[in-house]
């Protein structure tokens, strides 16, 4: 195996591993905010579901996370959906 091929494979593997860690961290962060109704950037409670779909939203939807936008700082973030059992207990 040539040095150039080995370097390319190593670079591609490192890139894929970095993207995987990045997405797992973002999904874990979104899931941890499942029951918190405020913006993670400015702590404002003036948030609403984001109506502009982004290309990679489907990855978060697979893990039951929805996009939200802060009306104060315009931060777009993901949050896990509140489970039905939690909703029943709260109501
Ligand atoms: Zn905010």
Residue-wise pLDDT for 14-50, tens only, equals 999 999 999 888 888 877 776 777 888 898 889 899 9
Alpha carbon distances (Å) from 7 to 12, 15, 19, 41, 88:
9, 12, 18, 39, 55
Q: What is the pLDDT of residues 46-85, one digit of tens each?
A: 989 998 888 888 988 888 888 999 999 999 998 887 655 4
Structural domain boundaries enclosing 20: 3-90
**69 and 50 in contact (C-beta within 8 Å)?**
yes
Per the structure, how many domains does the chain have?
1
Q: Ligand 1: distance of its center to the CA of 10 in Å?
A: 39
How far away, in angstroms, is 79 Cα from ligand 1 center?
13
Distance 69 CA to ligand 1 centre (A): 8
Q: What is the pLDDT at residue 56?
A: 85
pTM as predicted? 0.67
pLDDT at residue 38, rounded to an integer: 84
Instruction: Give the CA angle between residues 58, 59, 64 to the nearest 5°.
Output: 85
């Amino acid at each position: 195996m040539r040095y150039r091929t080995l370097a390319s494979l190593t670079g591609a593997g490192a890139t894929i591993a970095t993207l995987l860690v990045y997405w797992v961290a973002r999904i874990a962060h979104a899931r941890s905010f499942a029951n918190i109704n405020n913006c993670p950037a400015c702590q404002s409670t003036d948030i609403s579901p984001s109506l502009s779909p982004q290309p990679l939203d489907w990855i978060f939807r697979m893990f039951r996370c929805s996009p939200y936008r802060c009306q104060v700082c315009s931060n777009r973030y993901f949050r896990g959906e509140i489970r039905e059992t939690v909703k029943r207990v709260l109501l």
